[in-house]
């Protein structure tokens, strides 16, 4: 399938395998640890990574994805949508209770269906992630595109002083980008230290606000967030070649342009037909892969990750030059 045998792919997708939820799943800590914790030794990276995602359904899929990517060095944080079924919320709470590096946020806010991350699939091993992030050298991987002024209140003040952050009257340039981003540890510490409450409240009054926060902070020179870009070097404030997450959006609602022929919320759902491409992507995550549509494709990616992690399979070696030349680390937009 990964080799792209068109005839074999055609035969496989004729009857796609789907995941059927198990109502009687054993949720004891012993059972959860048996399903999630690796049975083979994984070399330590000494490079812990924190993953955060918003989720709302498909617990067994999420548990399997945790198992594929699990390392005791990492932290896994989930925000469970308040409108999720009670069974799903209870299972996520039990998962967190049984594994010390799995955390749930305390908030119960409802989130837009377009920006949930339940069906993101990691396609890089922990060792590959370490090499990628070391190449980024402390810079943040954030998508930046122009923002329509109609999406936020232009009558409000957008300088750091008016927003109660620090003394600077230089207006913030509002940008837009994908919700998903990869942030350096220093950037996360900075976000936890400064008071962004008023900025977030002002963004919340507009449209697509979750797409503006990180992109705007990333090019706000006077705010000096670690790992940001120098905005003067960012041509037209556009940085579209980021690697955190791949997804294929079709605004015309044309599912014919999706290889697997399935479109959900304007996003192509990836299937068995996409496996050759997935194995070669430079990204960290792909979206979306839905177990209720093509669990066979999900299982194939899981097997690929296992082979790369534990069996030293090197089918598509990382092209480190690609990451070295990303806008985040190139001369175009250098981090401060």
How is 60-101 classified by DSSP, letter by letter?
Answer: HHHHHHHHHH--TTSEEEEEE-TTS-HHHHHHHHHHHHH-TT
Counting residues of the chain whose pLDDT is more than 70, the rounded percentage is: 88
Strands (E), 106-232: 121-122, 145-146, 175-176
Q: Where do the structural domains in the chain lie, given as residue ranges?
A: 6-137+243-323, 145-238
What pLDDT does 210 receive? 80
Strands (E), the chain: 50-55, 75-80, 102-104, 121-122, 145-146, 175-176, 245-246, 263-264, 267-268, 285-286
In degrees and rounded to multiples of 5, residue 268 shows phi and psi of: -65, 130
Task: Report the mean per-residue pLDDT for the chain.
Answer: 88
pLDDT category, 246, cuts 50, 70, 90? confident
Distance CA 285, CA 305 (A): 12
> Cβ neighbours of residue 306 under 8 Å, at least 6 residues apart?
68
50 - beta bridge partners?
Answer: 75
What pLDDT does 252 receive? 53
| pLDDT tens digits, 197-214 | 999 999 888 776 788 999
CA angle 59, 60, 65 (to 5 degrees): 95
pLDDT of residue 217 exceeding 90, the answer is yes
pLDDT category, 334, cuts 50, 70, 90? very low
Distance CA 219, CA 233 (A): 10
22 - beta bridge partners?
Answer: none
What pLDDT does 335 receive? 42
Q: Name the one residue in this structure whose structure tokens are 């936890």.
A: 192
Under DSSP, the state recorded for 39 is S
Question: What Cα–Cα distance (Å) separates residue 207 from each residue in 54, 134, 146, 149, 211?
Answer: 19, 35, 14, 10, 9
pLDDT of residue 63 exceeding 70, the answer is yes
Q: To 10 degrees, the CA torsion angle through 247, 252, 257, 261?
A: 80
Lowest mean pLDDT: which of 42-46, 56-60, 133-137, 145-149?
Answer: 145-149
| pLDDT tens digits, 177-196 | 888 899 999 999 999 999 99
Residue with the larger pLDDT of the pair 238 and 129: 129
| pLDDT tens digits, 125-167 | 999 999 999 999 999 999 888 888 888 888 899 999 999 998 8
pLDDT category, 333, cuts 50, 70, 90? very low
What pLDDT does 4 receive? 86
Is 143:58 a contact under the CB 8 Å cutoff? no
Q: Name the one residue in this structure whose structure tokens are 């396609």.
A: 123
| pLDDT tens digits, 66-120 | 999 999 999 999 999 988 999 999 999 999 999 999 999 976 554 444 445 789 9
Counting residues of the chain whose pLDDT is more than 90, the rounded percentage is: 63
Is 336:137 a contact under the CB 8 Å cutoff? no
Distance CA 268, CA 262 (A): 6
Is 298:61 a contact under the CB 8 Å cutoff? yes
182 - beta bridge partners?
Answer: 141
Q: Give the residue-averaged pLDDT of 282-300.
A: 95
What pLDDT does 329 receive? 77
Distance CA 15, CA 4 (A): 18
């Amino acid at each position: 399938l990964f080799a792209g045998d068109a005839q074999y792919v055609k035969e496989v997708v004729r009857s796609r395998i789907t995941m059927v939820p198990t109502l009687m799943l054993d949720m004891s800590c012993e059972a959860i640890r048996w399903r999630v914790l690796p049975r083979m030794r994984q070399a330590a990276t000494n490079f812990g990574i924190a993953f955060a995602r918003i989720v709302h359904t498909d617990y067994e899929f999420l548990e399997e994805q945790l198992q594929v990517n699990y390392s005791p060095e990492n932290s896994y944080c989930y925000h469970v949508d308040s409108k999720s079924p009670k069974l799903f919320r209870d299972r996520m709470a039990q998962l967190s209770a049984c594994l010390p590096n799995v955390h749930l946020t305390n908030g119960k806010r409802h989130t837009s269906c377009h920006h949930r991350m339940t069906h993101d699939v990691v396609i890089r091993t922990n060792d590959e992630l370490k090499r990628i992030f070391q190449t980024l050298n402390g810079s943040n991987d954030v998508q930046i595109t122009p923002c329509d002024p109609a999406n936020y209140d232009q009558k409000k003040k957008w300088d750091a002083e008016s927003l109660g952050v620090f003394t600077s009257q230089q207006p913030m340039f509002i940008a837009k980008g994908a919700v998903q981003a990869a942030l350096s540890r220093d950037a996360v510490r900075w976000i936890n230290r400064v008071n962004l409450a008023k900025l977030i409240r002002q963004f919340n009054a507009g449209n697509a606000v979750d797409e503006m926060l990180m992109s705007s902070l990333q090019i706000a020179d006077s705010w000096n967030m670690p790992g940001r870009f120098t905005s003067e070097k960012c041509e037209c404030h556009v940085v579209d070649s980021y690697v955190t997450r791949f997804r294929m959006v079709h605004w015309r609602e044309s599912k014919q342009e999706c290889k697997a022929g399935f479109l959900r919320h304007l996003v192509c759902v990836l299937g068995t037909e996409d496996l050759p491409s997935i194995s070669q992507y430079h990204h960290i995550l792909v979206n979306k892969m839905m177990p209720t549509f093509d669990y066979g494709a999900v299982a194939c990616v899981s097997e690929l990750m296992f082979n790369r992690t534990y069996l030293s399979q090197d089918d598509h070696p990382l092209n480190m030059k690609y990451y070295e030349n990303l806008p985040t680390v190139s001369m175009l937009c250098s981090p401060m």
